[in-house]
């Protein structure tokens, strides 16, 4: 059995742990040959692969990023304006692959499945999203690490806020789903947590800040990059004209700052965490989780269950048909237990 | 409504997060008065309590230990040879308590329930076990932190092992259940993981070590303090005669070392992690989890659901009748998914 | 003996360690009374002080920020347009202070000295600068912590850079002195380190990036917020029009990104660390250093050596006349050993 | 120019940072060829070497341990009872080495120098001691990391101590010099710090514990493994009979526990940190320091200054003749500033 492995889309802590588990499990359980494909689908297009042996994946469990490399955009169906999927399928045959393990987000897995549909090898998917927003998947690896990184940042900023009696705004990842802001906000003792799922009310937030500063307390605001004011259109791009990457420039944190400052006596400061949230060594929790995801993918392969994606549901690893979840996002539902919990202990959710 | 709060049994990261969530939730949701009882039941016996207000529990989320203090042994039913439960019940009345929230292990909650049965106030329990071994409770707060601490230690010891080509044995907590050794062992890339639930075979472990050192690799062994060799009686106390605290002296790690060294050419070293595993600031994961446990306890109180213990099942907070779980331990079942996963990626489980 | 204590200027890890050491040392060595002044000079203006006893400063060693609070701007010589120094001097007398310990930057100490000159109590200064740029002071507390925070961020960003083959730019604090960027850049294995002291050459940096990506390697750039291109005027404010806080918006990192991207095939990304660099618990190194600074201040007080600032020179604590260092900055000298070291191991310094 | 590189003696954080800096500096500054010798002198005896190129030492800065491996005991002058130094010298010639960089403790460097004296290649030494006790060297790499590890452990144990009102004893490395216990003790807010350099008085320590528990406070004791009671013989081996490694079993911590418990009402607990103190990724401080040590060694080589050891004095890198420091230990002098500082803030030093 020859199995191809690739990681696609954005960097995420735990990718190497998945690669290690898939490879070790396949080698040990069925003596499979594992072929590592470099830089996601780009490696299939540019024909860059390398064998992955036991020693190649030893010692990488705790290393951030992916030893295979990844690419965000390369699709064989639209590569520099052309459809090169036929060449990619031919290359898969040359390599003698029996199946492909695609570790990535929605896009990566959809492409892998489409390749199978046009004559390529069958695939098994391992969901990868630092935002924890893949449908049918309770908790994805990398998320716990991102939450830990953001929580650490919130604590650091908090000490400054308290020393100066300021309102500190920290912007986290999460354009469509607010999981990171919600969990890190609670773990970092944020007083206000703003998510894409709940439009916020500037006046209400200002009230919270004033009430706290009246008691000589700082206010810590944790805002997801996709959060928006009630009624307010998402006009970040325009507010920070000419910037090469508006979102990364912290549109929402700086916009909220501009909205709040006129309403408050205390200083308001904004910080955008940006790329630090994606990187670093996975937490022990994520190492165990990613190892389970990888091992489960190897099991699906051994059982010949193709076109499926590994999932975690009710605390157990299992799988769903890729088709059944493709193109869907998992946002924070309005009735989510953590939202109620946050409200009941006094967190302002917008 | 006046509610008493106490923490009993051993220290555990997240206790303050629970105290904070219970208190804030009770004050905010029903304007309750919260009374903190010092040093577990000792505070009820010695009449040492203090009010807990909003500000008393602000800023303690990330602090390890318990601001109320705790005690391992004090039971009103057997206090210095006497049964002082009547005085304790009387004191509860004097305090005007309507209910008691007991955060602790099996013993703590059983005593709290027994007090209710002899005329004391009704109770709600929050399970506390760093070993993650309370029946009916999927994942307890403090466990993730302990796993992180042990994983960090395994990684440190690993660098020494690799530099010297040694066999390194690290002893973790877990006298009856091996959860910490299992998860930390996987997260710390241990080659051998030994649990109380699976008797180990010294010859087989020696084989693993020899095979690895033949490939110039070190071997990392993670052993729970309750693990024992097949057939071998648990004779730690006798092997380390005259020590004030045999288990803490690392009976099992040093015994395993003594068993392995004669069978191996490479050096074998043993380390006992001991008390460091209990302490420290909770991980973000544990802060969120402990906050949910505390808030759920406040909900049970508000709904008047007494004699129950908060639990986590299928990823959701709920509760069980204390009677239904008292006196049971949750060990690692032989068919647990993580055991299979570990085996499939090549970990030796004894 | 009654001693006033205040912390002024920006937040810095280790302030509480200094407060603890000064207070414990004064109480223990000469039974002094210590008065904590809130929010820097603002506390003297608004008459907000509180006694600091042994227990008040116990358990704060590892806590970030300052328990006394601080303020950046409040000067008794120019308070809301008026000179209120006479009232402040009068208030010092009312409090019966014998001396003042001012922990802060250049501004804070100069004001404290000026107060003494117009009839206020004599002062002793403890230098506080996260940028490590106070003249006459080899290494200031807080700096090691900031370097550790930035190094951690560089490592996180590095994993993303490597996975994607990108050029990652990380902006650190340091408007006038590049110490943080230099040490964190070396500790974080940055390939390019850009300081305010050395104007950089965009073409040369692009060359480094191209050479590395030709070998399929990412490039990590660590740039201090005060770094500027050769000949290029500092036009950040204009490039990010209408922003409430241009520097915080990452002027230099995003400008460099805009300069580099046209010259490179690989993606360039920029991150601005911002406020996270000031906060958090001090490293053990900084705890020891801050404790020594605080204790040395108490010694100067006991010996009646006023108008002086504690310093670290040649690895030893001592002091200098405040007048001799006021108004001077300590930049990275062109012949500094670390610059030569960085160059010799192949780091591009601009 | 062909240079041999070896690491000898115990594992220490920063070894890879030194290897990286020496190699990069030599390749870049004089196009030298660098030969890595495996497992210290064992590699010269068993003829196991490998070339070290630029890429071999890239990405290892933050990795604990040594990629070359090390050995504690192998001496060419006494290898399995025979003197094989002549073969080793011959092998050095075969390899065409011009010089040898020995990174290690006293023993390693003395052997390297002796080899030069009997016809081997000249050597340059880089001092390596986690205990920070090498003569002529102010601060050695790895020490800051060990202090950070111990400080973290002290903080964890502290939370347990406070929650239970216990006396917690933590045993650190340091058989002859107490640097780690002293700095970590101060950074970890230990109430009692016991060093090999100062015999302790059990009665006095008990007094401190009683005074604290009278104020409902726990007591944290940090004791170096070489500390001993006044007059008391070092009888650890006998007290823990039959153990394979008495010191590692925590002789001194458990002996102190046995001595204190009878004198106190509060529980006394002991923990031995053991091997975790040697391992792990170096702190940013140690990465910078180790990089400087490595680069300085390359400079000595380029200048042909042989038989010398790199040192840090007065905060500057320089070197001393190996002969002038060999066989000497650097203990904590009785008049050391940190001892006075600790006493003045109320720490009991025995």
The DSSP annotation for D204-266 comes to HHHHHHHHHHHTT--EEEEEETT--BTT----HHHHTTT-S-TGGGTHHHHHHHHHHGGG-SS
Taking CA atoms, A14 is separated from A65, A135, A326, C15, C225, in Å, by 7, 19, 22, 37, 32
Asked if the Cβ–Cβ distance from A279 to C249 is below 8 Å, we say no
D89 φ/ψ angles, rounded to the nearest 5 degrees: -60, -45
Q: Per-residue pLDDT for D237 more than 80?
A: no
Q: How confident is the model at residue C13 (pLDDT cuts 50, 70, 90)?
A: very high
List the catalytic residues of C.
131
Residue D343 lies in a domain: no
Q: Given C39, C163, C276, which is nearest A153 (Cβ)?
A: C276
Q: How confident is the model at residue C328 (pLDDT cuts 50, 70, 90)?
A: confident
Which chain C residues contact residue D314 at CB under 8 A?
Answer: 314-315
Residue A196 neighbours by CB distance under 10 Å: 22
C154 lies in the same domain as C218: yes
Strand segments, DSSP code E, in chain C are 2-7, 33-37, 49-51, 99-104, 123-127, 167-172, 192-194, 219-224, 268-272, 308-313, 316-321
Q: Per-residue pLDDT for C155 more than 90?
A: yes
Widest Cα–Cα separation across chain C: 71
Taking the mean position of all CA atoms in its chain, how far away is CA B199?
22
Asked if the Cβ–Cβ distance from D317 to C298 is below 8 Å, we say no
Residue D342 lies in a domain: no
Asked if the Cβ–Cβ distance from C164 to A269 is below 8 Å, we say no
Asked if the Cβ–Cβ distance from B159 to D271 is below 8 Å, we say no
B218: nearest Cα among C106, A40, D318, D69: D69
D253 lies in the same domain as D157: yes
Q: Rounded CA gap, D293 and C337, in Å? A: 12
Decide: A260 and A167 in contact? Cβ < 8 Å: yes
What is the percentage of chain D residues whose pLDDT exceeds 90? 87
Q: Given C24, C138, C189, which is nearest D345 (Cβ)?
A: C24
How far apart, in Å, do the first and last CA atoms of chain D sit?
Answer: 53
How far does A7 lie from chain B, in Å, by closest CA? 20
Residue stretches of chain A with pLDDT short of 70: 232-250
Q: How confident is the model at residue C180 (pLDDT cuts 50, 70, 90)?
A: very high
C319: nearest Cα among C298, C294, C300, C304: C300
Q: Rounded CA gap, A2 and A51, in Å? A: 10
Q: How confident is the model at residue D329 (pLDDT cuts 50, 70, 90)?
A: confident
Decide: C345 and D24 in contact? Cβ < 8 Å: yes
CATH number at residue A136: 3.40.50.450
Against a cut of 0.80, is the pTM above it? Answer: yes
The pLDDT averaged over each successive group of 10 residues in chain B (350 residues) is: 96 97 97 97 97 97 96 91 96 97 94 94 95 90 98 96 95 96 98 97 97 96 96 48 43 92 96 93 98 98 96 91 87 96 97
A152 lies in the same domain as A137: no
Q: Which residues pair with B220 in a beta bridge?
A: B168
Provide the mean pLDDT of chain D: 92
Contact B183/A at CB under 8 A = yes
Taking CA atoms, C51 is separated from A1, B160, C7, C16, in Å, by 75, 49, 15, 15
Among A261, A278, A295, give the residue marking a domain's end: A278
Residue B349 lies in a domain: no
D-proximal residues of C, 247-286, CB under 8 Å: 283-285
The DSSP annotation for B296-337 comes to HHHHHHHTT--SEEEEEETTEEEEEEHHHHTT-B----TT-H
Q: Rounded CA gap, A250 and C237, in Å? A: 16
Contact D208/C at CB under 8 A = no
The pLDDT of C173-181, averaged and rounded, is: 96
Residue of A nearest to C13 (CA): A159
Can you tell me whether residue D80 is helix, strand or coil? coil
Q: Which residues pair with C312 in a beta bridge?
A: C317
Chains that touch A (3 or more CB pairs under 8 A): B, C
A151 lies in the same domain as A262: yes
Instruction: Record the tokens describing residue D273, joined without a space.
Output: 């940190």
CA-based Rg of chain A, rounded to a whole angstrom? 22
Q: Which of C344, C346, C348, C349 to mutate to test the interface with D (most CBs of D within 10 A)?
A: C344
Q: Which residues pair with D30 in a beta bridge?
A: none
Q: Is C129 annotated as a binding residue?
A: yes
Residue B256 belongs to domain spanning: 146-278
The pLDDT of C30-59, averaged and rounded, is: 97
CATH number at residue D252: 3.40.50.460
Chains that touch C (3 or more CB pairs under 8 A): A, D
Among A222, A248, A278, give the residue marking a domain's end: A278
List the catalytic residues of A.
131
Q: Rounded CA gap, A3 and D180, in Å? A: 51
Asked if the Cβ–Cβ distance from D276 to B163 is below 8 Å, we say no
Asked if the Cβ–Cβ distance from B276 to D69 is below 8 Å, we say no
Strand segments, DSSP code E, in A44-142 are 49-51, 99-104, 123-127
D202 lies in the same domain as D247: yes
How far does C334 lie from chain A, in Å, by closest CA? 31
Instruction: Record the tokens describing residue A262, joined without a space.
Output: 């006129």
Provide the mean pLDDT of chain C: 92
Residue C265 neighbours by CB distance under 10 Å: 10
B204 lies in the same domain as B310: no
B247 lies in the same domain as B210: yes
D135 lies in the same domain as D156: no
The DSSP annotation for A321-341 comes to EHHHHTT-B----TT-HHHHH
Asked if the Cβ–Cβ distance from B151 to A20 is below 8 Å, we say no
Can you tell me whether residue B155 is helix, strand or coil? helix
pLDDT tens digits along C246-255: 434 457 999 9
C198 lies in the same domain as C293: no
Residue C130 lies in a domain: yes
Q: Given C13, C258, C275, which is nearest A244 (Cβ)?
A: C258
Name residue, tokens 């937040």: C11
The confidence score (pLDDT) of residue A143 equals 97
Residue A331 lies in a domain: no
Can you tell me whether residue C170 is helix, strand or coil? strand
Count contacts between A and C (CB, < 8 Å).
Answer: 151
Q: Which residues pair with C223 in a beta bridge?
A: C171, C194
Residue B112 lies in a domain: yes
B125 lies in the same domain as B159: no
Residue A197 lies in a domain: yes
Asked if the Cβ–Cβ distance from D189 to C285 is below 8 Å, we say no
The confidence score (pLDDT) of residue A314 equals 84
Chains that touch D (3 or more CB pairs under 8 A): B, C
D-proximal residues of B, 72-131, CB under 8 Å: 72
- ipTM of this complex: 0.94
D83 lies in the same domain as D133: yes
Q: Per-residue pLDDT for D244 more than 70?
A: no
Q: Is A175 annotated as a binding residue?
A: yes
Angle between helices D143-164 and D284-303 (to 10 degrees): 160
Q: Given B138, B186, B295, which is nearest A315 (Cβ)?
A: B138
Q: Rounded CA gap, A224 and A244, in Å? A: 20
The confidence score (pLDDT) of residue A250 equals 56
C21 lies in the same domain as C113: yes
Decide: A246 and A274 in contact? Cβ < 8 Å: no
Structural domains in chain B (count) = 2
Residue B65 lies in a domain: yes
* Cβ neighbours for B28, distance < 8 A, ≥ 6 positions apart: A344, A345, A346
Name residue, tokens 């960097």: A11
């Amino acid at each position: 059995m020859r199995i191809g492995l690739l990681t696609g889309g954005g960097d995420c802590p735990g990718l190497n742990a998945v690669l290690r588990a898939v490879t070790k499990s396949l080698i040990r359980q069925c003596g499979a040959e594992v072929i590592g494909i470099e830089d996601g689908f780009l490696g299939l297009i540019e024909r860059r692969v390398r064998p992955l042996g036991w020693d190649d994946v030893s010692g990488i469990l705790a290393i951030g990023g992916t030893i295979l490399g990844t690419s965000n955009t390369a699709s064989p169906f639209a590569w520099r304006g052309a459809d090169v999927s036929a060449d990619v399928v031919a290359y898969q045959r040359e390599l003698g692959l029996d199946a492909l393990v695609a570790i990535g987000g929605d896009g990566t897995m959809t492409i892998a499945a489409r390749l199978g549909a046009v004559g390529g090898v069958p695939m098994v998917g391992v969901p990868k999203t630092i935002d924890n927003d893949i449908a049918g998947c309770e908790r994805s690896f990398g998320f716990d690490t991102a939450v830990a990184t953001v929580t650490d940042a919130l604590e650091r900023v908090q000490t400054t806020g308290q020393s100066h009696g300021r309102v500190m705004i920290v912007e986290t990842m999460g354009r469509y789903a607010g999981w990171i802001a919600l969990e890190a906000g609670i773990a970092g003792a944020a007083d206000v947590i703003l998510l894409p799922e709940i439009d916020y009310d500037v006046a209400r937030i200002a009230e919270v800040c004033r009430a706290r500063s009246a008691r000589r307390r700082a206010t810590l605001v944790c805002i997801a990059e996709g959060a928006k004011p009630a009624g307010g259109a998402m006009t970040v791009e325009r507010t920070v004209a000419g910037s090469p990457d508006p979102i990364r420039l912290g549109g929402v944190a700086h916009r909220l700052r501009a909205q709040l400052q006129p309403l408050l006596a205390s200083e308001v400061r904004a910080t955008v965490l940006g790329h630090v949230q994606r990187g670093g060594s996975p937490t022990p929790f994520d190492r165990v989780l990613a190892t389970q995801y990888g091992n489960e993918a190897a099991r699906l392969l051994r059982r010949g269950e193709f076109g499926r994606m590994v999932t975690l549901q009710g605390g157990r690893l299992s799988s769903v048909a890729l088709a059944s979840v493709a193109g869907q996002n998992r946002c924070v539902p309005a009735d989510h237990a953590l939202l109620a919990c946050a409200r009941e202990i006094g967190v302002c959710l917008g």
